[in-house]
């Protein structure tokens, strides 16, 4: 049976750094308030003159391919995770495909928000194991800043999110113990409206008319409820991955969670009694980049030498849907 290995990982973040002090000028907030509640000190915002969801993904993909030692012509398929596509349709996967000259191969767009990259990794893993493809690009790319309310009314959401992209080359391998050991995907639509953007929705009679002028176009988040569910689901899905592979938490070399809130990561670390340094966090400087957060963090950790061959790496995510997911990898 074929195995799926992450052959290369890459990321891209826009040049523009937006600090908490910058946000203090736009809304009634403070550096201390933001750090206390989220752990975030700064985030990146896209440059509307040159950055798009697709071309940020292209930059991340080029880095991942270079590190994997493959070229555009070697890629068989694309899985593109985003909730902030460049167009209502088509998806950003074909736009990135066009930019990288990968014309003709399939491009699948998925909308699983913060869990999108892990969902995408699972999809790629199944295609690889089936023998259908050899090299798959899995992308997470988001531009959140253009949809935020930078005022007092929207501050609870606006201080959290940033922009960026991450990419992985998932490659077929044989006769190896390395690779993606298992993935675990879950959802509960009961809570769909607790973290969502309502409009434009096709069920409105005139989705591009009055609805687009209303509050439904702005992100809504029931922060307390999201936090309570996140800390439970994160722990569950990490433990599920360990049990599926008959491992224990001491074997995890690095846990890379979705960068939702530093308090959530710290809570998980304490609840699961993980060793110091096991949980990787970079939300402090990039904010929550939704589907891009895990590949950005994983790429950065790899650059720092914190991801080495045969290390057990756990990825875990929770977000809108509600959806949650994990992947256990022997690097």
Residue 71's pLDDT is what? 97
The pLDDT score that the predictor gives to residue 68 is 98
Residue-wise pLDDT for 244-296, tens only, equals 999 999 999 999 999 999 999 999 999 999 999 999 999 999 999 999 999 99
As a whole number, mean pLDDT of residues 92-111 equals 97
Query: What's residue 279's pLDDT?
Result: 98
With a cut of 80, say whether residue 220 has pLDDT above it. yes
Q: What is the mean pLDDT of residues 24-36?
A: 97
Helix/strand/coil percent split, the chain, to 5: 40, 25, 35
Q: What is the pLDDT of residue 223?
A: 92
310 dihedral zone (left: phi>0; alpha: psi -120 to 50; beta): left
pLDDT, residue 216, reads 83
CA distance linking residue 40 with residue 282, whole number of Å: 9
Q: Are 317 and 294 in contact (CB under 8 A)?
A: yes
On the question of pLDDT at 207 being above 90, the answer is no
Q: Does domain 3-173 sit in CATH 3.40.47.10?
A: yes
Q: Three-state DSSP class for 225? A: helix
What CATH architecture does domain 179-330 belong to?
3-Layer(aba) Sandwich (3.40)
Longest CA–CA separation in the chain, Å: 58
pLDDT exceeds cutoff 90 at 134: yes
Give whole-number Cα distances, 96 to 72, 77, 147, in Å. Answer: 11, 12, 21
CA of residue 164 relative to chain centroid, distance:
9
- Indicate the pairing of strand 164-173 with strand 3-12: antiparallel
* 177 closest CA partner among 69, 50, 310, 302: 310
Task: Categorize the per-residue pLDDT at 241 as very low, low, confident or very high, splitting at 50, 70 and 90.
Answer: very high
- Residue 313: pLDDT over 80: yes
**Rg of the chain on CA atoms, in Å:** 19
Whole-structure pTM value: 0.97
Give the pLDDT mean for 150-171. 97
Note the pLDDT of residue 218. 87
Q: Rounded to the nearest 10 degrees, how much is the dihedral formed by the CA atoms of 255, 259, 262, 263?
A: -90
Q: Are 57 and 89 in contact (CB under 8 A)?
A: no
Q: Residue 215: what pLDDT?
A: 80
**pLDDT at position 209:** 78
Residues serving a catalytic function are: 114, 258, 288
> Where do the CATH 3.40.47.10 domains begin and end in the chain?
3-173, 179-330
């Amino acid at each position: 049976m074929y195995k799926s290995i992450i052959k290369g990982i890459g990321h891209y973040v826009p040049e523009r750094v937006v600090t908490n002090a910058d946000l203090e000028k736009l809304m009634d907030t403070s550096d201390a308030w933001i750090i206390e509640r989220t752990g975030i000190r700064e985030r990146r915002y896209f440059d509307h003159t040159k950055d798009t969801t697709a071309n940020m993904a292209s930059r991340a993909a080029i880095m991942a391919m270079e590190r994997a030692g493959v070229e555009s012509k070697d890629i068989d398929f694309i899985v593109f995770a985003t909730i902030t596509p460049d167009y209502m349709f088509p998806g950003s996967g074909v736009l990135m495909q066009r930019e990288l000259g990968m014309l003709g191969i399939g491009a699948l767009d998925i909308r699983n928000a913060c869990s999108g990259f892990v969902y995408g990794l699972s999809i790629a893993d199944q295609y690889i194991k089936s023998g259908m493809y050899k090299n798959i690009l899995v992308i997470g790319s988001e531009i959140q800043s253009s949809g935020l309310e930078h005022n007092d009314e929207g501050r609870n959401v606006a201080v959290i999110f940033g922009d960026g992209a991450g990419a992985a080359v998932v490659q077929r391998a044989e006769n190896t113990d390395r690779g993606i050991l298992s993935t675990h995907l879950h959802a509960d639509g009961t809570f769909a409206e607790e973290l969502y953007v309502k409009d434009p929705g096709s069920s409105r009679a005139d989705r591009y008319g009055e609805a687009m002028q209303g509050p439904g176009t702005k992100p809504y988040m029931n922060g307390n409820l999201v936090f309570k569910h996140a800390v439970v689901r994160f722990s569950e899905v990490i433990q599920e991955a360990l049990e599926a592979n008959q491992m224990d938490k001491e074997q995890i070399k690095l846990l890379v969670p979705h960068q939702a809130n530093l308090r959530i990561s710290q809570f998980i670390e304490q609840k699961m009694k993980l060793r110091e340094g096991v949980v990787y966090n970079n939300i402090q400087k990039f904010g929550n980049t939704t589907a891009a957060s895990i590949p950005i963090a994983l790429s950065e950790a790899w650059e720092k030498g914190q991801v080495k061959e045969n290390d057990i790496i756990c990825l875990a995510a929770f977000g809108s849907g509600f959806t949650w997911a994990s992947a256990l990898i022997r690097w």
